[in-house]
């Protein structure tokens, strides 16, 4: 994808719970990486220090100096204005709100830094190095504790007017549905994410439903997660199966909207919840097929994300190289 073979970038995936920094070669090889916990409670300086430490650690492991790096891409769980480099929304990283993250990192590392939303970074990772290689129009969907996405149009990530496009998890699916973290009601992620599945299971248990789900959570209803529901479903629990199918139904409603709006050739699905597989995705594809325009549905292909935990660092690094447009003094 990049003509300059051997060009190096650093990709950082800054999430609410972990920081992953990696030295990435322009053909998508991760040469070294370092993971640490995000010290959200210790404030913004501590978070930035952790990012710097992980970056230096990854460089050390790769036996490299920062001077050999072209640029740095940071995929961050939030939205930043590409012109100012200021993070203006970061629900899982409250201390970084309104912080000029790009300039602070640039000053500390002496290299160009580019910020990108974490889901957009993952989409770019799949586009350059994973399941979406060669695609022109595709949508990346991550089904996880929330739902995120990236929209690629004509081979380029679509970021919108202020860098906030692609928040597919917050399209309204049910106007009277459950309250979402964003303040709206009935968002896609309030109905079809791992958190939504866990919440629904917890509520049904509290209302006295007959199920073995609780056994897989050590008897503690607060410990019922999407993974726990999946374990119960695999062992034949009928409520667990019903709840996963219901989540799949809502996944499908959202997919139908995306298909009708964007007419993509490909939808790449990643994120921890998607590991449930057919039990979740079969009803999703069925519902999407029933709701989307027939021709647009026939034109779309579905694929699983290929890059796993490295999608964010690979995409952030690719974004940095893309933005440098080959202007790297080696």
What's the min distance (Å) between Cβ of 177 and Zn ion? 10
Contact call for residue 8 and Zn ion (CB under 5 A): no
d(CA 40, CA 23): 24
Contact call for residue 187 and Zn ion (CB under 5 A): yes
| DSSP assignment string, 34-75 | EEEE--GGG-HHHHHHHHHHHHHHHHHHTT--GGG--EEEEE
Interface with Zn ion (CB under 5 A), residue from 72, 123, 124, 180: 180
Q: Helix or strand or coil: residue 313?
A: helix
Q: Which is nearer to Zn ion, 180 or 284 (CB)?
A: 180
Report the phi/psi class of residue 202: left, alpha or beta, with left for phi > 0 and alpha for psi in -120 to 50: alpha
Q: Which is nearer to Zn ion, 74 or 180 (CB)?
A: 180
Give just the sign of the alpha carbon dihedral 305, 307, 309, 311: negative
Interface with Zn ion (CB under 5 A), residue from 57, 61, 184, 231: 184
Only one of the segments 36-44, 151-159, 177-185, 291-299 lies at the binding site for Zn ion (rule: CB under 5 A); that segment is: 177-185
DSSP 305: -
Contact call for residue 328 and Zn ion (CB under 5 A): no
Name residues whose C-beta falls within 8 Å of residue 135's C-beta, 6 or more positions apart in sequence: 127, 152, 155, 265, 266
Q: Helix or strand or coil: residue 1?
A: coil
What's the min distance (Å) between Cβ of 147 and Zn ion? 9
Contact call for residue 299 and Zn ion (CB under 5 A): no
For Zn ion, what does the binding mask look like between residues 133 and 172, x meaning CB under 5 A? Answer: -------------------------------------x--
Contact call for residue 86 and Zn ion (CB under 5 A): no
Instruction: Write out the residues near Zn ion by the rule CB under 5 A.
Output: 170, 180, 182, 184, 187
């Amino acid at each position: 994808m990049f003509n300059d073979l051997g060009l190096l970038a650093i990709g950082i995936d800054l999430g609410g719970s972990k920081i992953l920094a990696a030295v990435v070669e322009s053909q998508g090889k991760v040469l070294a990486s370092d993971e640490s916990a995000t010290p959200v409670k210790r404030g913004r300086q501590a978070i930035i220090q952790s990012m710097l430490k992980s970056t230096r650690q990854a460089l050390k492991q790769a036996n490299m100096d920062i001077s050999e790096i072209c640029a740095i891409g940071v995929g961050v769980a939030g939205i930043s204005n590409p012109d100012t480099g200021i993070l203006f929304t970061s629900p899982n990283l409250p201390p970084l709100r309104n912080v000029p993250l790009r300039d602070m990192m640039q000053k500390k590392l002496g290299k160009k830094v580019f910020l990108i939303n974490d889901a957009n970074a993952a989409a770019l990772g799949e586009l350059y190095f994973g399941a979406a290689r060669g695609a022109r129009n595709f949508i990346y969907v991550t089904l996880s504790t929330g739902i995120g996405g990236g929209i690629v149009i004509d081979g380029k990530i679509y970021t919108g007017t202020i860098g906030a496009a692609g928040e597919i998890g917050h399209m309204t699916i049910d106007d009277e549905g459950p309250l979402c973290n964003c303040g709206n009601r009935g968002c896609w992620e309030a109905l079809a994410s791992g958190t939504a599945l866990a919440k629904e299971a917890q509520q049904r248990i509290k209302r006295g439903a007959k199920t073995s789900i609780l056994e897989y959570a050590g008897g503690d209803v607060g410990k019922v997660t999407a993974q726990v529901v999946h374990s119960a479903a695999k062992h034949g629990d009928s409520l667990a199966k019903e709840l996963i199918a219901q989540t799949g139904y809502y996944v499908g409603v959202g997919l139908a909207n995306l298909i009708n709006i964007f007419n993509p050739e490909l939808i790449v699905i990643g994120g921890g919840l998607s590991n449930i597989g057919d039990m979740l995705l079969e009803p999703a594809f069925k519902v999407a097929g029933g709701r989307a325009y027939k021709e647009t549905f026939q034109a779309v292909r579905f694929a699983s994300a290929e890059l796993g935990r490295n999608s964010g660092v690979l995409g952030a690094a690719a974004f940095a190289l893309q933005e440098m447009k080959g202007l790297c003094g080696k």
